[in-house]
Amino acid sequence: MINNFNDNGSETGFVFSLIGGLFWSIIGIAFFGWVVYDLFQVDFVYGNIEERGWFLWRIVLGFLFSVFGIWIWTAASWMRRKESLKKGAWTSFVLGILSVNILAIIGGILGLREMKELES
């Protein structure tokens, strides 16, 4: 289904949002990698409480980046079909604003513009 671009949706909005979602997912995976790296540090076990607080923040940030990335990725797939173009464009736009993902915002705007062109 990913190779089929003939669904009359917003192809450019799909690509921008997909790249934004993948980028956010990679950042989330990197945060989780950083957490795993810290778990293997001997100093972490005997470190101070402040280091452990930053460790928990990295877990939360990794989770948030990953969840937003997957949601934006899903919104991008909705933009490929004409029937769900509006839902995907608005979802990508709103999630892009909430997560400060410029590519998702651009993809949402392109999807909304394409939706207006298809309606007229």
Determine, yes or no, domain membership for 53.
yes
Q: Which domain holds residue 28?
A: 11-119
Contact 55, 44 (CB under 8 A): yes
Can you give the pLDDT at residue 97?
Answer: 95
Determine, yes or no, domain membership for 2.
no
Angle between helical axes of 102-119 and 49-79 (0-180°, round to 10) = 20
Total domains present in the chain: 1
Determine, yes or no, domain membership for 30.
yes
Determine, yes or no, domain membership for 5.
no
What count of Cα atoms within 13 Å lies in the side-chain half-sphere of residue 33? 6
Determine, yes or no, domain membership for 45.
yes
pTM listed for this prediction: 0.80
Determine, yes or no, domain membership for 3.
no
Specify the range with the lowest mean pLDDT, choosing from 36-40, 88-92, 115-119.
36-40
CA 35 to chain centroid:
20
Can you give the pLDDT at residue 1?
Answer: 43
Q: How far apart are the first and last CA of the chain?
A: 28
Q: What angle do CA 9, 74, 88 make, to 5 degrees?
A: 40
